[in-house]
Chain A
Amino acid sequence: MRSLVPFVVMLVVAVAAFYLFPYNLAFLTRVVITMILVLSLDLILGVAGVSTLGQAAMYGSGAYAAGLFAIHVWHDPLAGLAVGAAAGAVVAFVSGLFLTRAHGLTLLMLTIAVTEVLQEIANKFSAITGGTDGLGGIRMGRVLGIWKFDFVGRTGYIYAVCVLFVVVVVLKIVIGSPFGLALRGIGDSPARMRAIGTPVTRRLIAAYTLSGAVAGLAGAMAAQSTALVSLGVYDFQLSAEAMIMLILGGTGRLWGALIGTAVFMTVHQVASSVDPFNWLFVIGLLVLAVVYAVPRGLLGLPDEVKRLLRRLK
């Protein structure tokens, strides 16, 4: 029963946000989409311990796949999500075949390289992708044929929250499964897992592919809600910020990804609307504060406080 509590909290927060900030739904939708991206990173980085700065590779591929699918094939949103997720999975699987054999700095560099290569491909094939101008002309149909994407963004928000729910549930099940436990073991010590007979590389490729599918899903949602895909979906900054949000919230437990994203993007939003010229300062201070004060992220905050209190006694 206790494990249901976070889900209820999540639902309450999502509904409350909908009614409390009816004029910020576009922003809230972006937060939810980013949460899905950060969740995908949590699976591969937080659980399986693979340090990557290349999540944008799958996010971007999902975005372009969903955009092109909507323009040329069918404008159904859910079908578009499936296509985006598939594109993310394919990119992750293919790149995972060699990425999972690298470690440490080499791995970081390779994940960045994959993203850059994809960005350059998208730039080169501007007849298909629109290049620097972006892939425009995406028109989305109704969700399940019933709900139209409206101007204020109500449908977009509810749609995104529903997808987020499904993703969290699926990832929770995966992490709790024997496969998930194996990943956690690999995250702690690949050598030991190999010694007890786990096919480490194969498990990692599977995890990376799943993570890629989720990232592709996030990209597809972004493409649908913005109705335009630009080369920016492959930006290094996207991968880096996703990592910052994850570290801010706390790695390996999914909820940290949600909290980190919500806090980071809210601070970002508030700071940049209060002072659109110097707000980056605030973000810098926030990241510094978290790294120094709560190295295990906001999720670790209660434990840190408890330890502090115990020491005071």
Chain B
Amino acid sequence: MTKPTMGPALAAAVALVLAGTAGADTIKVGVVAPFSGPFAMYGKQFKDAIDVYVAEHGTKAGDHEVQFIYKDTGGPNPDTAKSVTQELLVKDGVNYLAGYTFTPNALAVAPLVDQAQVPTVIFNAATSIITTKSPYFVRTSFTTPQVAGPLADWAIAQGIKTVVTSVTDYGPGIDAEKGFVKEFEAKGGKIVDSIRMPIATSDFSPFMQRIKAAAPNALFTFIPAGPPAFAFVKSYSDNGLSAAGVQFLGTGDLDEETTLQGLGDAALGIHTSFPYSVAHESAMNTQFKADLAKVDPGAVANFASVGAYDGTEALYRMIAAGGTDGDAGLKAVLGASWESPRGPVSIDPKTHHITENMYIRVVAKDDKGQLINKEIETIKDVPDLGLVSK
């Protein structure tokens, strides 16, 4: 193929890119996330968290000015994710990438990130394999097995011997089921029945009847937050499972804080495990919530907020240490540890994934009558169990 003759537009663009990377020493970070459509919550939480971090730490990381460029992917849309990422790399000349809510989106950019050698901080996407797809990936969220495994341990410790699993029939649900079952059976527990519920289901009574008939000590569930979780929890209470002595165990996805109040009183007493509860008691978290209220009054923090907040911490550390040199930056963050609003965290240099505490929480009411996830037990320094076990 012949080399294209450089038009004036191209020359101007090249000049811009050069000015961006070498001249004024502004380090650009591309943030790829859903900012429109049904998943826009993620984009908003990411941006709020970045704004909070910048408000607290300034726009400079070390000697370098940091600039964020936002790109919208809509939803799980690898075509868009890949092309906007490519544009960020070749047109905007970003030195770091961040965001990525959905697994396919993160997987689609792995070859690009690899080729461009640009460190990329995954703020959310929660399938274990992602960080194995490129050495330039670092993840600051959690993986589903990381959440489900400790819950199984805790259940055993509570004397729960039999469980029915009931998960939504798609990738994350199946990951959660596998993570829980493996750990629970390894510790001597018995899985009585495993139910996979279709994604579009809104009537959960038949499943609840089936669980009730099996009469286990507890049910374990993974179900996406929002209307499906509302209906599931309501159905659990309406069908008298809690009265029949079937405990409710789940991953914290279903009662994350932006939709928590929608669960209503039916949710009181259910147990979930997750890396972050807004009700986490620490000075750092109180500060984080106060700063968030200043940046975006009325905003509610959740797991996506801390994923992005710690992701920004990782970005700042990389930029301060490496500047435009991504490899040097990456080296600085691998093995690093810091205090996060969710508790102490560190980046595992082997898996490039965050090691963090898992909390067993119970849904309770605070003194204002609002539902909260009250932490009752801490499992310290949990790595990504999905990768460790492989």
Measuring CB to CB, which residues of chain A are less than 8 angstroms from any residue of chain B?
18-24, 26-27, 29-30, 120, 123-124, 126, 131-134, 136, 147, 151-155, 158, 222, 225-232, 272-273, 276-280
Contacts and interface: CB of A to CB of B under 8 A. Distances in A.
Interface residues of B, number: 48
Interface of B: 1, 4-5, 7, 9-10, 13, 35-37, 40, 43-44, 47, 70-72, 75-80, 82-83, 86-87, 90-91, 103-104, 107-108, 110-112, 115-116, 127, 129, 133, 169-172, 174, 198-199
A22 B108 CA distance: 22
B104 A230 contact: yes
Contact of A131 (B5, B36, B91, B171): B171
Given A26-B82, A222-B79, A232-B77, A276 B104 contact: no
Contacts of A273: 71
B107 A22 contact: no
B304 to A, nearest CB: 16
A232 B170 CA distance: 13
Contacts of A151: 86, 90, 112, 115-116
A19 B47 CA distance: 34
B35 A276 contact: yes
A19 B86 contact: no
Contact of B36 (A147, A154, A229, A279): A279
Contacts of A278: 36
B91 A24 contact: yes
Contacts of A228: 78, 82, 104, 107-108
B37 to A, nearest CB: 8
A22 B43 CA distance: 28
A134 B104 contact: yes
Contacts of A24: 87, 91
B104 A19 contact: no
Given A123-B170, A126-B174, A134 B78 contact: yes
Closest 7 CB pairs of A and B: A132-B171, A134-B104, A23-B91, A230-B104, A26-B83, A26-B86, A276-B72
A272 B70 CA distance: 10
Contact of A230 (B7, B40, B71, B76): B76
B326 to A, nearest CB: 16
A227 B83 contact: no
7 contacts: A26-B83, A124-B169, A131-B171, A134-B107, A136-B133, A226-B79, A232-B77
Nearest to B199: A123
Given A154-B1, A277-B43, A133 B171 contact: yes
A232 B78 contact: yes
A132 B103 contact: yes
A174 to B, nearest CB: 28
A30 B36 contact: no
Nearest to B71: A276
A274 B133 CA distance: 31
A282 to B, nearest CB: 11
B169 A123 contact: yes
Contacts of B5: 19
A125 B1 CA distance: 41
Contacts of B78: 134, 226, 228-230, 232
A122 B170 CA distance: 10
A152 B170 CA distance: 34
A134 B171 CA distance: 10
Nearest to B10: A22
B7 A272 contact: no
A147 B7 CA distance: 23
Contacts of A226: 78-79, 82, 108
A286 to B, nearest CB: 15
A132 B172 contact: yes
A20 B133 CA distance: 34
B35 A27 contact: no
A19 B3 CA distance: 10
Contacts of B90: 23, 151-152
Contact of B129 (A22, A124, A133, A158): A133
A230 B78 CA distance: 7
A153 B86 contact: yes
Contacts of B86: 26, 151-153
Nearest to B17: A23
Contacts of B82: 26, 226-228
A227 B107 CA distance: 10
Contacts of A230: 76-78, 104, 108
Nearest to A21: B9
Question: Which of B13, B77, B104 has the most A CB atoms < 10 Å from its CB?
Answer: B104
A211 B37 CA distance: 29
Nearest to A31: B83
Contacts of A225: 79
B70 to A, nearest CB: 5
Contact of A134 (B4, B72, B103): B103
A151 B116 CA distance: 9
A145 B108 CA distance: 24
A312 B40 CA distance: 47
A8 to B, nearest CB: 21
Contacts of B198: 120
Contacts of A120: 198
Contacts of B37: 280
B71 A126 contact: no
B107 A136 contact: yes
Contacts of B72: 272, 276-277, 279
B83 A132 contact: no
